[in-house]
């Protein structure tokens, strides 16, 4: 048994033993659970995948005379300004009013972190205290007072693999899916993925310090659609999309390498977000969780050609099979393709490992655990209920 304080003390002294969630697998083979649990202090996990539910809060500062911005656009991409006078939220998937799919909120964020000037246009109805009705100027990230990424839903704990049984190619957020089971796409970093290494959120919770977009960030809350009650395998790992995290971090310190705008053909704009999460090896149980390998992680193959909420599925497949390049679906051998970058996830896990090893990054105990019982609601379409009528 190790406490957070003990692990942090070792980190500060430069003595912490840190390995990645891939490295731990072989280490456990070699040393066994007990010995490895005693020797290893931290396991780093990471992912770098498309995460639509992302965006940034920006504060522009006050002009003279001041304006209470009610409509805001950045490089012609609308930002939400229904908050205080010069605050706005730019969502990653918002599309440009002039360029459509070619440019969106994620591109604005990427341009900001690249140091580019971004065109700001805002309108207002004018008030006694904020008389200006219109503003047109150019801003850079450093001109802003605050700019922080606030992503309502990131780091999905597992995600279904996608296939297309129809006779037409379909264009989805799971990439281009070829007809007649022409390919299978999947989008997690498997054995390296954060929430697959802490299936019951014992150490990842509200307040957890993480790597986000190249700098330090935090888990702010459970993510939207957090679904801990998803069916799980015996080892505790969910068999399809389950838990999620809401993340926050300083955009001003982020790097384009780990935050990239993306366009999914005929679907829309999204953003690839790089996230790394350290897991303290408090005891043997945590070690067992982090030692999980792709062979022991399964996901569900879902048919994206059925445009309904409940899509048909074709059973389970392991990440080891997905990573092998081919899987069998409905008796047919189908090539697989990843959407999230394992190469980038490994870079992130290695950077986080280095930060901790060098004593620059200590671990935090969650301020509050993520819920383990949370029913996922869906949106039903019906008339106003009688009790609600005035």
Partner 1 sequence: MPKTRIVLSFPPSLTEVPLTYHLVKEFDLAINILKAKITPGEEGKLVIELSNGSEANIQAGIQYIISQGVHVEPIGKEIVWNEAECIHCGACTAVCRSKALTIAAPDWQLSFDKEQCIVCESCVKACPMQIIQATF
Using CB under 8 A, list all residues that contact partner 1. Answer: 48-50, 175-178, 183, 185, 260, 262-265, 270, 272, 323, 325, 335, 337-344, 346
Give the closest residue to 252 by CA, choosing from 213, 221, 219.
Answer: 213
CA distances from 202 to 123, 210, 216, 371 (A): 47, 15, 21, 11
**Which two three-digit tokens encode residue 94?**
């918002």
Closest CB to partner 1 among residues 216, 263: 263
Q: Is the separation of the CB atoms in 338 and 38 below 8 Å?
A: no
Closest CB to partner 1 among residues 192, 245: 192
Q: Cis before residue 65, ω within 30 degrees of 0?
A: yes
Shortest CB 328 distance to partner 1, Å = 17
Closest CB to partner 1 among residues 156, 264: 264
Closest CB to partner 1 among residues 50, 217: 50
Give the closest residue to 278 by CA, choosing from 210, 185, 191, 224.
Answer: 210
Q: Which of 129, 379, 386, 390 is catalytic?
A: 129
Closest CB to partner 1 among residues 78, 274: 274
Rounded to the nearest 5°, which phi and psi values hold at 71? -125, 125
Helix or strand holding residue 151 (H, E): strand 147-154
Shortest CB 264 distance to partner 1, Å = 6
Who contacts 360 (Cβ-Cβ below 8 Å, separation ≥6)? none
> What span, in angstroms and rounded, lies between the C-alpha atoms of 137 and 160?
44
**Which two three-digit tokens encode residue 202?**
């014992």
Q: Is the separation of the CB atoms in 54 and 143 below 8 Å?
A: no
52 is catalytic: no
> What span, in angstroms and rounded, lies between the C-alpha atoms of 217 and 67?
31
Q: Just list the catalytic residues.
A: 129
């Amino acid at each position: 048994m190790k406490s957070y304080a003990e692990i942090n003390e070792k980190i500060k002294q430069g003595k912490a033993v840190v390995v990645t969630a891939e490295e731990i697998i072989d280490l456990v083979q070699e040393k066994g659970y007990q010995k490895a649990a005693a020797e290893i202090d931290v396991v780093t996990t990471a992912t770098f995948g498309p995460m639509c539910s992302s965006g940034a809060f920006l504060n522009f500062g006050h002009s003279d005379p001041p304006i209470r911005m009610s409509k805001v656009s950045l490089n012609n991409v609308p930002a939400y300004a229904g908050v205080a006078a010069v605050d706005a939220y730019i969502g990653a998937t918002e599309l440009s009013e002039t360029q459509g799919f070619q440019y969106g909120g994620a591109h604005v964020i990427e341009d900001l972190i690249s140091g580019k000037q971004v065109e700001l246009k805002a309108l207002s109805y004018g008030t006694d205290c904020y008389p200006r009705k219109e503003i047109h100027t150019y801003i850079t990230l450093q001109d802003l007072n605050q700019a922080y990424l606030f992503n309502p839903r990131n780091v999905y704990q597992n995600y279904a693999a996608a296939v297309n049984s129809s006779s037409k190619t379909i264009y989805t957020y799971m990439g281009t899916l070829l007809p007649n089971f022409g390919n299978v796409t999947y989008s997690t970093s498997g054995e390296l993925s954060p929430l697959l290494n802490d299936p019951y959120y014992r150490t990842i919770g509200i307040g957890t310090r993480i790597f986000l977009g190249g700098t330090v960030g935090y888990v702010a809350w459970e993510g939207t659609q957090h679904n801990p009650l998803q069916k799980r395998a015996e080892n505790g790992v969910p068999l399809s999309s389950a838990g999620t995290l809401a993340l926050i971090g300083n955009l001003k310190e982020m790097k384009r390498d780990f935050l990239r705008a993306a366009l999914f053909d005929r679907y829309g704009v999204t953003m690839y977000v790089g996230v790394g999460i350290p897991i303290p090896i408090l005891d043997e149980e945590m070690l067992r969780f982090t030692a999980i390998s792709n062979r022991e992680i399964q996901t569900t193959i879902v048919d994206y050609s059925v445009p309904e909420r409940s899509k048909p599925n074709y059973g389970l497949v392991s990440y080891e099979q997905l990573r092998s390049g081919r899987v069998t679906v409905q008796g047919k051998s189908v090539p697989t393709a990843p959407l999230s970058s394992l190469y980038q996830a490994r870079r992130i896990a290695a950077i986080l490992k280095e930060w901790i090893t060098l004593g620059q990054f200590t671990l935090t105990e969650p301020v509050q655990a993520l819920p383990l019982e949370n029913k996922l609601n869906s949106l039903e379409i019906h008339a106003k209920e009688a009790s609600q009528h005035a």
